[in-house]
Amino acid sequence: MHSPPGHFLIPSAWNMNTGSSSHLNKSVTSLSTVFNMCMYPSISVGDGHSIPVTNTGHSILPTPFKSLHLNNVLITPHIRKNLISVRQFVRDNNCTIEFGAFSFSVKDFMMCQVLLRCDNTGDLYPVTTPSPIPHVFLVSQHTWHQRLGHSGREVLRHLVSNNFISCNKEKPLVLCHACQLGKHVRLSFVSSNTVVTSRFDLIHSDVWTSPIPSLSGFKYYVLFLDHYSQFVWVYPLFNKSDVLSKFVLFRTYVRTQFKYEIRSFLCDDGGEFDNRNLHKLFADNGIQFRFSCPKISQQNGKSERMVRTINNFIRTSLFQANLPPTFWVEALNVATHLLNFLPSIAINNEIPYTRLFRTNPDYSLLRTFGCLCYPHLHTNHKLKPRATPTIYLGQASNHRGYRCLDLKTNKIIISRHVTFDETIFPYGSTQPALTPTYTFLDDIPDIIPPAIPTNPVVHST
């Protein structure tokens, strides 16, 4: 195996072809890597004849954004046109190809970003010098920063470098006002030396208390954090005594979906954990119960840090959307969803979702919390609106769709067919001009709970 000096192909030497089962080229100089052994001695062409194959190898198709792979190219000097097998190309590059009357476009499958567009006027679809792709079509770094829950620059850089997302390069970077208001320096905790080798070997847990009831009347949330994957689950609670029932639900989910048993459980010594019913449940099922010492929260450091991280997400998201504190549960659900999609320092920048489910997360459905959106409305009246302006409150947990709040009717609309404007946050413009405070999300709450608005009604479309 060897690599010739000129390893980038001449674009005009290739043609996109839906009928070819393999990439075919007449010259070995088009390859970046050459294998002297042939995969097949010959191939059959359209007129029924067989032509010999002399070499195989790999090549590269450069684009303005990244290089695309042409794997297992067959070299046959008698071929009349150099052909790219569309089926093999799409499979090897995780992309899609759209053909028009006079052009074709190659798009990234996950982000739908146009990687290559070539124009043609003849009968074939040759790979020509790429047509200009407007830079403005790419999502800005600041928009992705908002979509990802105001994560740090290192997180964004990691996702871009691994081709999970694509964005413009802004110089200088946009200053994020919500981050300036919502993020503060974290207290230091003692690092844990605990090492686990499998999922659900150790679950960390903690309960956070809110002095402000949510729209639905929730006053607490309990989190369950898997030490191995750093994946976190949260359950809003009406009462602290609901911790037992939520743990039973969580344990059943783990056993059903993963065929695993929880082996150890670490929490503080609060009465919601240190009680007879939970002790009996753990003893009956062989689960090791571990508590932090009284008044030493650092021994339950992972849960404490996760609560602080979640609350930073909630606070920043509420600042961004100018939503009142009573929307903290909606922001909580978005925060935990995003945290499971973001690289975690605790597992060497691996992604919790990937480590738990052994597959990459789908970022294409993410939108900016609190932004303006238009869900589709089903109506039989020809002159009625086909959509209505609403506020995006996150993805629906039991639907493959989005939760949208209509401020005029105070109804939640669940719909898949939604158009977003991620630059507008309409709540502040439709409500009285008040500056919300979110100090209840700090370590020591010091505000008086406001009145609770009427609960929104849920509708699906």
Domains of the chain from N-terminus onward? 11-133 (2.40.70), 372-460 (no CATH)
8-state DSSP, 249: H
Phi, psi of 65 (to 5 degrees): -115, -40
Tokens of 391: 């506020």
Q: Are 26 and 75 in contact (CB under 8 A)?
A: yes
Can you give the pLDDT at residue 131? 58
What does the alpha-carbon distance between residue 213 and residue 139 come to, in Å, rounded to a whole number? 36
Residue 341: Cβ within 10 Å count = 22
Could you identify the residue written with the tokens 């390893």? 7
Torsion of CA 418, 421, 422, 423, to 10 degrees: -170
For residue 5, say if its preceding peptide bond is cis, omega within 30 degrees of 0: no
Q: Would you give the end-to-end CA distance of the chain in angstroms?
A: 58
What does the alpha-carbon distance between residue 106 and residue 222 come to, in Å, rounded to a whole number? 45
What does the alpha-carbon distance between residue 56 and residue 37 come to, in Å, rounded to a whole number? 7
Beta bridge partners of 395: 402
Nearest CA to 149 among 323, 333, 302, 306? 333
Torsion of CA 106, 109, 111, 114, to 10 degrees: 0
Nearest CA to 51 among 73, 77, 25, 72? 77
Q: Coil, strand or helix: which one is 243?
A: helix
What does the alpha-carbon distance between residue 166 and residue 111 come to, in Å, rounded to a whole number? 7
Q: Are 280 and 164 in contact (CB under 8 A)?
A: no
What does the alpha-carbon distance between residue 415 and residue 458 come to, in Å, rounded to a whole number? 11
HEC letters along 255-318:
HHHHCCCCCEEEECCCCCCCCHHHHHHHHHCCCEEEECCCCCHHHHHHHHHHHHHHHHHHHHHH
8-state DSSP, 346: G
8-state DSSP, 100: -
What does the alpha-carbon distance between residue 343 and residue 163 come to, in Å, rounded to a whole number? 14
Q: Are 248 and 265 in contact (CB under 8 A)?
A: no
Can you give the pLDDT at residue 296? 58
8-state DSSP, 8: S
Phi, psi of 385 (to 5 degrees): -60, 145
Q: Are 340 and 363 in contact (CB under 8 A)?
A: no
Size of the chain, expressed as the number of residues it contains: 461
Q: Coil, strand or helix: which one is 458?
A: strand
| DSSP notation for 381-420 | -TTS-SB--EEEEEE-SSSSSEEEEETTTTEEEEES-EEE
Each residue's pLDDT expressed in tens, for the chain with a length of 461 residues: 444 433 344 444 789 998 888 899 888 888 888 887 677 788 888 777 888 888 888 988 888 778 889 998 988 888 888 999 999 999 998 889 988 888 888 888 777 778 888 887 778 888 887 655 554 456 778 888 888 888 888 888 888 777 787 776 666 667 788 887 887 554 554 555 677 889 999 999 999 999 899 988 999 999 999 999 999 999 999 999 999 999 999 999 999 999 999 999 998 878 889 899 999 999 999 999 987 766 555 566 788 889 999 999 999 999 999 999 999 999 999 999 999 999 999 899 999 999 999 999 999 889 999 999 999 887 777 677 788 899 999 888 777 889 999 988 889 888 888 999 989 999 876 655 566 677 777 764 433 344 434 455 555 55
Can you give the pLDDT at residue 12? 47
Nearest CA to 356 among 233, 244, 236, 265? 233
What does the alpha-carbon distance between residue 337 and residue 175 come to, in Å, rounded to a whole number? 24
| 335: Cα within 13 Å, side-chain hemisphere | 23
